[in-house]
Structures are given as C-alpha cells and as structure tokens.
C-alpha cells in the first residue's frame, strides 16, 4: 500500500508522452577543452513506461538525468514534460513541477545527509511541498513510506550510518516518492549495492511502477537488467544515442555494431539464452576522449564494420522499422 495521499492508478499507461527530449546538448568547459557530455539526442517516454538509457562510463547518460531533473541547464535543445517546456534549471522551476519529477541517485551514501535521521530526511519534502498539515500527520505518512519500501517503523529515528547501503537506497526511493511524482529518474540505483540486495531493490521498483503507473527513466550500464525491466531501450556512446527501440525489437534485432558488441558480451546461463545473442563481436580499441572526439562516427575506431565514410561523416539517426531508430552509415 502506498502512502495515503497517492491514488493507486492515478496515471494511466497511454499514448501520451510524459517526457520528450529534442536535440539535447550539454557541454562543459574544462581546462582541457569543451566536453560534449550530451551532444544532440532525441527520445521520448510514455506515461507508465520504463525507458532504459544504457551506456558505458563516460557515455553521458547520467548527465542526461541531471539535465532533465534541472540540476544542469541545457546548452541547447528542448525538454518537455507533457506540453510544458522545462528546459531550465531547478531553481527556476515551479514547486508543482519539482513535485512531479524526482530522482534517485546512484550512491545513497552521498545523497543522504548523515547528520539527519530518517524522520527528518523524509519529513523535509513533506514540509517543503506542504503535503502534510502538522507533525503528527507527517509522521504517519513517513511510517507509510517506510512500509512502502519494506522497512520497519522503528527505523524512523535511525541515522543513515546505522543502516546498510541497501536500506539507505530504500530511504532514497521513499524520499523520491514522498511528493507523489509521476516521473522518476533512476541513476544506476543498484550499482553501488551488494549483489544480494540488488534484486530486492529492482523488484520493489517494478512493483511500485506497476501499482501506480509511474514513469521511469532508468539509467544503467547493465543491458541484461534492461531485458527484464525496460519497455524501451536506448544505447548511448560518447554523448549520442546509437540505437533506440522497444525492448523486444532491441534484443531480437540489434542493428548498430556497438549494440551488437554489448549484447554479445552479456553473460548467460542457458544454451537457449546463448542462441538469442548476436554472434560474438570482439571489443577493439579504446573509447576516445570526450574532449577530443574524432571526426565522423565517434565509434569508428572500435567498429568491426567501419567503412571509409565513417571516418569522415557523422551518421544521422534513421528509423528502420516503426519505433526502431539507429545512427549508423550501414543504414541509410
């Protein structure tokens, strides 16, 4: 059971986009040069959808989340929540908008204030957004939040250093959901946790999403996780999206050489799973520096299918079949 002021089924899975990103760019100026962390990407998330954004470290996927939530202002491009342009920093966004878009960070050890107890941590969003009338009402709602993330009520006055990493992440999830959001950004929510607790966190997130039609932007480096969780998957490489498709289309018909390389390296347990994988594609070369991205296709130096044009022209995203997009010179 969710907290009292949430209405189960409030958001219906439908055809409407809850989030639309167009030509999003986020550049950072450093002593070494300009880092094009996000370099012109497009995607959309439907109501009630789990959208998986996958990439290696340095691909720019976390920067996407921080820009969508308002921690960064886009260098260029447009971010739309339903029909509202939200391409601004968080401090310029309305309180109502901040309630509806929340984020769960990768490391709960750094995203939770160690000087505050759990009651204070979960009470703050309730106070800021005037969700509860008084202390007793807030305490009741905090207890319901703890129950929602499967933590006992007696944790309410514990401090974060008194509980484990998995439990801290459950508190982070409860804090994100305290404002009754419709869109939650999950920035590798299990990668900093022990394997033993990862499955529990994922199971909880899926249950909450199904129960309340939450929409997730799920950021991860784990493609095998997305096979079981996401409804759509996009692959990022050096600030750009290489391929974007529905989950079934993505795993059954991977097109981009980088996608094929990633999928072929996923460990499997059975012969049947092995048959579903693309043929083994050897990973060659190293990821170029984001400060000095080579001309042409950024994946050129590592690609087993490269052609002369790949070193000269950056490919554009094309739609191969309905909803299946790929950015590669092999598909024109």
The residues, any chain, with a CB within 8 Å of residue 287's CB and separated by 6 or more, are 56, 58, 238, 302
86 vs 33, 47, 74, 80, 246, CA distance in Å?
28, 17, 10, 6, 26
Q: Looking at residue 280, what is its pLDDT?
A: 66
- DSSP states along 265-289: T---SSHHHHHHSPPP----S-PPP
For residue 319, report the phi and psi dihedrals to the nearest 5 degrees: -95, 115
Q: Looking at residue 158, what is its pLDDT?
A: 95
Q: What is the mean pLDDT of residues 153-167?
A: 93
Residues 179-206: tens digit of each pLDDT: 999 999 999 999 878 888 899 999 999 9
Neighbours of 174 (CB within 10 A): 24
The model's pTM is 0.90
Q: What is the mean pLDDT of the chain?
A: 90
Indicate the range of 91-100, 135-144, 171-180, 320-329 predicted with least confidence.
91-100
Q: Looking at residue 232, what is its pLDDT?
A: 96
**Distance between CA atoms of residues 331 and 140, nearest Å:** 56
Domain ranges of the chain: 13-113+182-196+212-332
**Distance between CA atoms of residues 64 and 83, nearest Å:** 19
**Distance between CA atoms of residues 4 and 128, nearest Å:** 18
Residues 205-223: tens digit of each pLDDT: 999 999 888 999 999 998 9
Residue 293: pLDDT band by 50, 70, 90 thresholds?
Answer: confident
> What would the two tokens of residue 32 be?
């070494």
Q: What is the mean pLDDT of residues 74-92?
A: 93
Among the four given CATH numbers 3.40.50.800, 3.40.109.10, 3.40.50.300, 3.30.980.10, the one describing domain 13-113+182-196+212-332: 3.40.50.300
């Amino acid at each position: 059971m969710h907290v009292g002021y949430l209405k189960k089924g409030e958001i219906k899975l439908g055809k409407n986009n809850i989030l639309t990103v167009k030509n999003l760019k986020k550049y950072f100026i450093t002593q070494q040069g300009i880092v094009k962390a996000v370099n012109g990407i497009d995607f959309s998330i439907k109501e009630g959808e789990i959208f998986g954004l996958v990439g290696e470290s340095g691909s720019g996927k976390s920067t996407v989340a921080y820009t969508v939530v308002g921690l960064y202002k886009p260098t260029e491009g447009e971010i739309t929540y339903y029909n509202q342009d939200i391409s601004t920093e968080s401090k310029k966004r309305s309180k109502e908008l901040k309630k509806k878009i929340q984020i769960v960070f990768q490391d709960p050890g750094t995203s939770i204030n160690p000087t505050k107890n759990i009651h204070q941590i979960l009470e703050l969003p309730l106070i800021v957004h005037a969700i509860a009338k008084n202390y007793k009402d807030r305490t009741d709602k905090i207890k319901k939040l703890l129950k929602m993330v499967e933590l006992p009520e007696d944790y309410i006055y514990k401090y974060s250093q008194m509980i484990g990493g998995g439990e801290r992440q459950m508190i982070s999830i409860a804090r994100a959901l305290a404002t009754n959001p419709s869109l939650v950004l999950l920035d590798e929510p299990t990668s900093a946790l022990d394997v033993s607790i990862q499955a529990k966190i994922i199971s909880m997130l899926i249950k909450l999403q199904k129960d309340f039609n939450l929409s997730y932007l799920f950021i991860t480096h784990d493609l095998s996780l997305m096979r079981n969780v996401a409804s759509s998957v996009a692959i990022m490489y050096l600030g750009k999206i290489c391929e974007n498709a529905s989950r079934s289309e993505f795993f059954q018909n991977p097109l981009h050489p980088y996608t094929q390389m990633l999928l072929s390296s996923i460990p499997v347990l059975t012969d049947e799973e092995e048959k579903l994988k693309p043929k083994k594609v050897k990973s060659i070369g190293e990821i170029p520096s984001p400060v000095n991205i080579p001309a042409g296709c950024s994946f050129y130096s590592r690609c087993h299918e490269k052609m002369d044009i790949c070193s000269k022209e950056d490919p554009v995203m094309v739609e191969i079949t309905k909803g299946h997009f790929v950015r590669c010179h092999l598909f024109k």
